[in-house]
Structure 1
Amino acid sequence: MKILIFGINYYPELTGIGKYTGEMGAWLAAQGHEVAVVTAPPYYPEWDIHPAYKGKKWFKEIIDGVTVYRVPLYVPKEVTSKKRILHEFSFLGSVLPKWFGLLLKKKYDVVININPPFHLGFFALLYAKIKKARLLTHIQDLQIDAAKDLGMIRNKRLLDWMFKSERYLLNSSHAVSSISLGMQRKILAKGVPKEKFIMFPNWVDETAIKPLSINESLRKEWNIPMDDKVILYAGNLGEKQGLEVIIEAAEAFKQNHFIRFLIVGSGGNKENLQKAVSERGLNNVFFYPLQPYEKLSALLATADIHLVLQKKSAADLVMPSKLTGIFSAGGCALVTAMPNTSLYDIVDQGRLGVLVEPESTQALVDGLNRMLSEDLASYRNAAREYAMQHLSKERIMRNFEDRLLEMIGVKERTKKWHYA
């Protein structure tokens, strides 16, 4: 197959959508497919273009066998709703000349549009229509729903137009995929026929991310006593996670000098969190930068308890990608989720962690006290087993590849492609 991917985030971004799109592109290329990506320079979650890419405009590079076309974009230092809209539209404007170039030069069999941003789908759709390619829209976040429910966009006329445009893009796609049952329910409620939907969950390389002993963790490197209890939040420090509750919970434990909170990552809300720690005079909260992939198992082994936090209004609009790594590393997570959401059901049914009410400091403190007094081995064992059975990268990617082949009318793999 010849596959063209449109997406604003891509490798070498280490977290979020870019991580998964990058791994998807590399995996498909490794099977012998011709893969190209139109994307931005890496900037997430730091919201700062990586040093090696600064000053570059439109250029091409080859990464893991994938042809990557980079286009410039505006990256705000302070992330607000208005600046984020400008950020996304600057990317769309830069995509236009590359889109014309690809239209004149190449015909791809399948076009994959990674959402968000949802409006990038118009480029993917128009290319697919003109070139008679098959279009798959993959939804990592329900961006418009989240913008409405989180109060990021309040203009009703604008929201109505965005939802109408989204419905048109989804109805015009040959297939729509997403990452969880909750997302599936919401997408089908938008009028997408069930037969067009593909379940394509985020995965983990269970051979690379695995349980390690505490002696193999980052505790020695970071001078953390082996006997201390470590509560870890690692990932994007953004608005939709409701991370201020970590600071409030840490204040409840400030008299216990053997409990420390680690916040590892980058994002638009990091400075506000650091300011809150300083204003409260807390000495049990420590910030560390995002860690490279090869240190991820060691980072996860550092924690006794992992925090997976979301706001109530983000329920089933996003599925925390950090969970895949936590489960694969055999970690025990404290998860904020409401009943009848995908996140709640997965954790509850598999006994994969402890569930508490979102956006409640008291619920978080109570949950932490419970976990600090319990033997968490059963949760850790169940998490690792779940990752092995349900989150295997190889299994998920094989199933996805089969669906792509079906989209172009290939019923079974041929010798044209090499399979390891």
Structure 2
Amino acid sequence: MKILICGINYAPDLTGIGKYTGEMGSWLAKNGHTVEVITGMPYYPQWEVSSSYKKRWWHRENVDGVKVYRCPLYVPKKVTSVKRILHEFSFVLSTLPIWIKKLFSRKYDVVISVSPPFHLGIVPLLYSKIRSTKIITHIQDLQVDVAKELRMNTMFAMERMILKGSSAVSTISKVMLKKIEDKGIASSNCLLFPNWVDENIIQPVAKKDSLRREFGLSQEDKVILYSGNLGEKQGLENIIEAAKHFRDNNSVKFVIVGSGGGEMKLKEMAGEAMLTNIHFHPLVSYEKLPALLAMADVHLVLQKKNAADLVMPSKLTSILAAGGCPIVTASEGSTLYKLIRKNQLGIVVEPDDHGKLVQGIRFALENSLEKFRDNARFYASRYLSKELILKNWETILLKLTNSKWEKQASLVLINE
């Protein structure tokens, strides 16, 4: 197949949507398909264009056998609702020269438009109509909060136009599929394409081989780890509040690994509270991720109340594959709550309540977690396998485009 992917984020992002889009593109290329990508300069999660891409404009590069077209975009230092919209629209406008060239070049079998930003889908949709090409809109996040906040009804109209104009709409969870169907999209046009983990790379590692020594931690320390995007609206301040309750226990260490818009606020809170039991570190390379995850006795997966019913957090997939025990914030009855409890993958506490978080941490430190760790690794291998999910995705693309291809793929079983 000849595949064109468009998304604001792509490899070499280590977290978030760009990580998954990058892995999808490289997997399809390695499996014999011709893949091209229109994307922005790498900037996530630190919200700053990577040093090697600064002062660069439109250019083309090869990433794992994929031809990648990089487009410049506005990246705000401090993210607000308005600045985020400007950031996203700057990328949409920046891609226009590439799309115009594509109108007069070879035809693709399928275009995959990755959302958010959802309004990015306008240009790929127009391209697909002009060139009579199949288009899949893949939704990682429905991204309606900003539109509600600014009362921008035109965004909802634009969203409906994109979804109804797509050959198919895919998303990452059954709950999100239902929400898309509620927008008037026929269930026959809705596809489940969940996020995954490479369980052959992210594997359990012995504590002695972890990054504890590199991070200045002893083998006897009890390590509470949060690794990922440090967003301003994730409730991460509860980690600081929880750390206060363990300040007199020298063996309990809180480690925060990542970057993002909320990083400075968290560091200021820790400094003001004069906490010596909390440590900040930048993200590590993907190759070091198994060793990073292995140093934790407990992993923190924090979600706001309204988020836990939409999607399994991407950081959780890696934790499970590494055989870690997560403490997950999720409201009772939510999809994430049911998933964790049903499969006994970890400890669940109420969101936005640092008291409940402290209780969960104490329980984890005082009890055996082997059952959770064994269940986590089994679940990841059975239901989150990168190879199985992407083989299934390949099959869907082939059926959609009616492409002739000899390979056969297994169907993925999603246990939600």
Q: Which TM-score tier does this pair reach, normalised by the shorter chain? A: over 0.9
Q: Which residue of the partner structure matches residue 76 of structure 2?
A: 76
Number of residue equivalences = 409
Q: Which residue of the partner structure matches residue 56 of structure 2?
A: 56
Q: Which residue of the partner structure matches residue 230 of structure 1?
A: 223
| Separation (CA, whole Å) in 1 of partners of 2:220 and 2:154 | 55
The Cα of 1:34 is off from its aligned counterpart by 0.8
The Cα of 1:139 is off from its aligned counterpart by 0.7
| 1:249 pairs with one of 217, 224, 242 | 242
Q: Which residue of the partner structure matches residue 191 of structure 2?
A: 198
Q: How does 1:200-219 map to 2 (within 5 A)?
A: 200-219=193-212
Q: Do the aligned residues in 2 keep the contact of 1:142 with 1:318 (CA within 8 Å)?
A: no
The reply on whether 1:361 has 2:354 as its aligned counterpart is yes
Secondary structure of 1:143's aligned partner: coil
Q: Which residue of the partner structure matches residue 315 of structure 1?
A: 308
| Separation (CA, whole Å) in 2 of partners of 1:36 and 1:180 | 26
| 2:405 pairs with one of 402, 409, 413 | 413
* Paired residue type of 2:301: V
After superposition, the C-alpha distances for 1:327-370 in whole angstroms (9 at most, x for unaligned) are 00000000001133222222111100110000001110111111
Name which structure has the greater RCO, CA cutoff 8 Å, separation 6+. 1
The Cα of 1:240 is off from its aligned counterpart by 3.5
After superposition, the C-alpha distances for 1:61-110 in whole angstroms (9 at most, x for unaligned) are 01111010000001111112121111111111101111101111121110
Q: Which residue of the partner structure matches residue 147 of structure 1?
A: 146
Judged with a 3 Å threshold, the aligned counterparts in structure 2 of structure 1 residues 340 and 177 are, in CA distance, closer, same or farther, namely farther
Q: Do the aligned residues in 1 keep the contact of 2:11 with 2:19 (CA within 8 Å)?
A: yes
After superposition, the C-alpha distances for 1:10-68 in whole angstroms (9 at most, x for unaligned) are 00111111110000000001111111000001110011111111111000001111010
After superposition, the C-alpha distances for 1:220-277 in whole angstroms (9 at most, x for unaligned) are 1112011111000000000332101111111111111110110000101100110111
* Paired residue type of 2:246: F
Q: Which residue of the partner structure matches residue 251 of structure 2?
A: 258
After superposition, the C-alpha distances for 1:107-129 in whole angstroms (9 at most, x for unaligned) are 11101010000000001101111
| Separation (CA, whole Å) in 1 of partners of 2:254 and 2:174 | 32
Task: With the length of structure 1 as denominator, give the TM-score of the two structures.
Answer: 0.95
RMSD of aligned residue pairs (Cα, Å): 1.5
Q: How does 1:75-94 map to 2 (within 5 A)?
A: 75-94=75-94
| 1:306 pairs with one of 294, 299, 303 | 299
Q: Which residue of the partner structure matches residue 127 of structure 1?
A: 127
After superposition, the C-alpha distances for 1:270-290 in whole angstroms (9 at most, x for unaligned) are 001101111111111100001
Percent sequence identity over aligned pairs = 54
| 2:343 pairs with one of 350, 360, 383 | 350
| Separation (CA, whole Å) in 2 of partners of 1:70 and 1:248 | 41
Q: Which residue of the partner structure matches residue 43 of structure 2?
A: 43
Secondary structure of 2:216's aligned partner: coil
Secondary structure of 2:306's aligned partner: helix
Q: Which residue of the partner structure matches residue 328 of structure 1?
A: 321
The Cα of 1:184 is off from its aligned counterpart by 1.7
Secondary structure of 1:385's aligned partner: helix
After superposition, the C-alpha distances for 1:150-205 in whole angstroms (9 at most, x for unaligned) are xxx5232x1x2212211221111111111112222222222221111111111111
- Unmatched runs of 5 consecutive residues or more in structure 2: 408-416
| 1:188 pairs with one of 181, 191, 200 | 181
The Cα of 1:318 is off from its aligned counterpart by 4.4
* Paired residue type of 2:50: H
Q: Which residue of the partner structure matches residue 418 of structure 1?
A: none
Q: Do the aligned residues in 2 keep the contact of 1:37 with 1:69 (CA within 8 Å)?
A: yes
The reply on whether 1:287 has 2:310 as its aligned counterpart is no
Secondary structure of 2:44's aligned partner: coil
- Unmatched runs of 5 consecutive residues or more in structure 1: 416-420
| Separation (CA, whole Å) in 2 of partners of 1:39 and 1:97 | 13
Q: Do the aligned residues in 1 keep the contact of 2:311 with 2:336 (CA within 8 Å)?
A: no
Q: Do the aligned residues in 2 keep the contact of 1:142 with 1:317 (CA within 8 Å)?
A: no
The reply on whether 1:162 has 2:150 as its aligned counterpart is no
Judged with a 3 Å threshold, the aligned counterparts in structure 2 of structure 1 residues 183 and 239 are, in CA distance, closer, same or farther, namely farther
Secondary structure of 1:359's aligned partner: coil
Q: Do the aligned residues in 1 keep the contact of 2:173 with 2:310 (CA within 8 Å)?
A: no
Secondary structure of 1:84's aligned partner: helix
* Paired residue type of 1:285: I
Out of 224-233 and 177-186, give the one that drifted further: 177-186
Judged with a 3 Å threshold, the aligned counterparts in structure 2 of structure 1 residues 205 and 180 are, in CA distance, closer, same or farther, namely same
